[in-house]
Chain A
Amino acid sequence: MVWIAIWKVVLLSSLALFALLTVVTTVRGAGDVRRLFQRLEEERQDPEVRE
């Protein structure tokens, strides 16, 4: 019975954390995508910026 209780807790906490991670990553990842494109655009227009 201990294992059943453990897996119930694991499953519930996994789903809750997954939902939280999805929201946070969706919102803040969009900002990262925007910054990545800005940086790549700057590099494309000014080759000196490249590594």
Chain B
Amino acid sequence: MNDALATAAQTNFTGWDWGIVVVYLLVSLGIGLYVKRYATTMTSYIAAGRGVGVWLGVATMSGTEMGLITVMYNAEKGFKGGFAAFHIGVLAGLVTLGVGLSGFIVGPLRDLGVLTIPEYYERRFGRKTRVLGGIVLALGGILNMGLFLKVGSMFIVGVTGLSHAGWALPLVMTALLTLVLVYTVLGGMISVVVTDYVQFVVLSCGMLLATGMAIKQLGWDSIFSEVQSQMGMGGFDPLASPAFGPEYVAWQAVLGLVGCAVWPTAIARALAMESSTAVKRQFTWSSIAFAIRLIVPCFWGICAFVFVTRMAPELGPWFGVGDQSLPPGEEAVSPLFAMPIFMGRLLPVGVLGLVSAAMIAAFMSTHDSYLLCWSSVIVQDVIAPLRRESLSIGSRVRLTRILIVIIGCYIWAWGLFYEGGDDIWDYMAITGAIYFTGAFALLIGGLYWQRASSSGAFCALLAGCSAVLGLGPIRGPVARWMLAAAGKPVTNEAAETLLSSARVGLFSVAFTLAVFVIVSLLLPDSPPKQTASPALNEE
């Protein structure tokens, strides 16, 4: 944040809090070094030897999906949209519960014993689909995590009161990335699941504590009444909210499903479980965490909004809240800073250190899993299938480690240089859609539709890339061009209405499914391949 805002923010963060954070980081590093001895095979390196029990599975899945990026983008949604943003978490929890109870997609996948989703593509649709699927998955996934490091570091900068105008943000980004790279490279999935467990415990306690203190500070009823007076019923009704609406809500339902049943880091947890029964229990219990990971940070964003409007109106101009104007020469800052500043002023010394350690835990548990996931996909599903000679286990582990470092360098550079105008959540949804629209069609079609063909699968993967149109720097010019071509007034509001990210995402999903079905019917496999789905084999 800029210096004038830093002065206004008056964080409670002290040397004691730094001490708590440093001790926590050293413990995480120690775990990575300790478990390195067990990471001797590819199965143990990327799937923890498939020996993860239900409760460790719940902890590691929750720890991974409850990342600091998740906390930040949901706080941003809550700050801007009020309680109406709760619908995102509620839908995610309900859909995950449905997947857990039914075993939809995740159960059959675990029964097949594959290590990655593209490996399933090969069994069902052939090698070229696996390679293309691996490339699309890795590209979409790596692009998706491009802003994780920057946004996570913004939390640290905001909560500690450091200035982001100078060296602080790049320094925090570099330090956090280095730490995650060290223990992920050394210990692989074993290190990831064990540190995820520790991180889940610290994170959950920190989140519950911070939420309780926020309610105590602001008052339960006051929070609701302030949102009502500032935002009206649009702050509660997602269908009537100017920030959301029916199309956006439908898009969130799709995201809830793919977030738990198609997204590779969630699937990686399912594939590391002992059995498909354990997978179903894992998802059923994790549905609580899938909802809460969105609802609680969203509530923090709402509390930050109430805090700014009621208790710290001097901060309002920086976030575009209230009637005051900015001091001369000052510029507005991202609403992403509102929640960490609120935490920095709300929590007392010691508790602030614990919550910051919890948030760094959330940051690391997401980064380690994502880095491991994308790098192992590139090795297992792109490089290995394309080579004529088979890759030794040692070579695969070594390549995975090298790629983890390369991807780490990319997210460091992307975080510093990307200038998009999207909300973080919308950026992530649309970059994720580049991968998951195709994967969604292939997994459902492959597991549950016997006439799904290799040609249909290949074309669906390519069609899924249409989601890239939803990225702000592409969507804006395309929408303005469409408006101009139609002879309509070209304004930013009209462009956003014509091509919202939710509309592009829903279009991309429908388009990909249509391509998959039509091409499968027109170009069936000959002779028909025997389905790899145990569910279909039983029929």
Shortest CB-to-CB span from A1 to chain B, Å, is 9
List the count of A-B residue pairs having beta carbons below 8 Å apart: 118
Question: Quick check: B205 and A10 within 8 Å, CB to CB?
Answer: no
**Nearest CB to that of B89 among chain A residues?**
A14
Shortest CB-to-CB span from A25 to chain B, Å, is 5
Q: Which of B41, B56, B62, B292 contacts A36 (CB 8 A)?
A: B56
B28-74 contacts to A (CB < 8 Å): 37-38, 40-41, 43-44, 48-59, 62
**Nearest CB to that of B233 among chain A residues?**
A3
Shortest CB-to-CB span from B205 to chain A, Å, is 7
Question: Quick check: B83 and A22 within 8 Å, CB to CB?
Answer: no
A sample of 29 cross-chain residue pairs with beta-carbon separation below 8 angstroms, ordered by A number, consists of A3-B233, A4-B228, A7-B86, A10-B86, A10-B90, A10-B295, A15-B292, A15-B296, A18-B204, A18-B288, A18-B289, A18-B292, A19-B208, A21-B292, A22-B204, A22-B208, A26-B204, A29-B56, A29-B58, A29-B201, A33-B197, A35-B53, A36-B51, A36-B190, A36-B193, A36-B194, A41-B38, A44-B37, A51-B49
A11 to B53, CA, bound (A): 29
**Which residues of B are found within 8 Å of A4, using beta-carbon distances?**
83, 224, 228, 236
**Which residues of A are found within 8 Å of B288, using beta-carbon distances?**
14, 17-18, 21
Question: Quick check: B205 and A40 within 8 Å, CB to CB?
Answer: no
Instruction: Give the total of B residues in contact with A, Cβ under 8 Å.
Output: 48
Question: Quick check: A44 and B228 within 8 Å, CB to CB?
Answer: no
Interface string of A26-39 (1 = CB under 8 A from B): 10111111011101
Question: Quick check: A3 and B51 within 8 Å, CB to CB?
Answer: no
Given contacts A21-B289, A25-B200, contact A3 B37 (CB under 8 A): no
Question: Quick check: A33 and B208 within 8 Å, CB to CB?
Answer: no
Shortest CB-to-CB span from B65 to chain A, Å, is 13
**Which residues of A are found within 8 Å of B84, using beta-carbon distances?**
3
**Nearest CB to that of A22 among chain B residues?**
B204
Shortest CB-to-CB span from A32 to chain B, Å, is 3
Question: Quick check: A51 and B197 within 8 Å, CB to CB?
Answer: no
Indicate if B213 sits at the interface (CB-CB under 8 A).
Answer: no
Q: Which of B48, B55, B205 contacts A29 (CB 8 A)?
A: B55
Indicate if B207 sits at the interface (CB-CB under 8 A).
Answer: yes
Question: Quick check: A39 and B55 within 8 Å, CB to CB?
Answer: no
Interface string of B353-382 (1 = CB under 8 A from A): 000000000000000000000000000000
Q: Which of B56, B62, B204 contacts A33 (CB 8 A)?
A: B56
A7 to B200, CA, bound (A): 25
A17 to B89, CA, bound (A): 14
Shortest CB-to-CB span from A30 to chain B, Å, is 8
Top 6 closest A-B pairs, CB basis?
Answer: A32-B53, A32-B56, A3-B236, A28-B55, A22-B204, A29-B55
Q: Which of B43, B58, B89 contacts A51 (CB 8 A)?
A: B43
A22 to B289, CA, bound (A): 9
Given contacts A17-B288, A18-B208, A44-B38, contact A25 B58 (CB under 8 A): yes
Indicate if B237 sits at the interface (CB-CB under 8 A).
Answer: yes
Shortest CB-to-CB span from A36 to chain B, Å, is 5
**Which residues of A are found within 8 Å of B40, using beta-carbon distances?**
44
**Which residues of B are found within 8 Å of A51, using beta-carbon distances?**
41, 43, 49-50
Q: Which of B55, B190, B211, B289 contacts A40 (CB 8 A)?
A: B190
**Which residues of B are found within 8 Å of A7, using beta-carbon distances?**
83, 86, 224, 236
Question: Quick check: B295 and A14 within 8 Å, CB to CB?
Answer: yes
A35 to B50, CA, bound (A): 12
**Which residues of B are found within 8 Å of A24, using beta-carbon distances?**
55
Shortest CB-to-CB span from B441 to chain A, Å, is 31
**Which residues of A are found within 8 Å of B299, using beta-carbon distances?**
11
**Which residues of A are found within 8 Å of B37, using beta-carbon distances?**
44
Indicate if B285 sits at the interface (CB-CB under 8 A).
Answer: yes
Shortest CB-to-CB span from A43 to chain B, Å, is 6
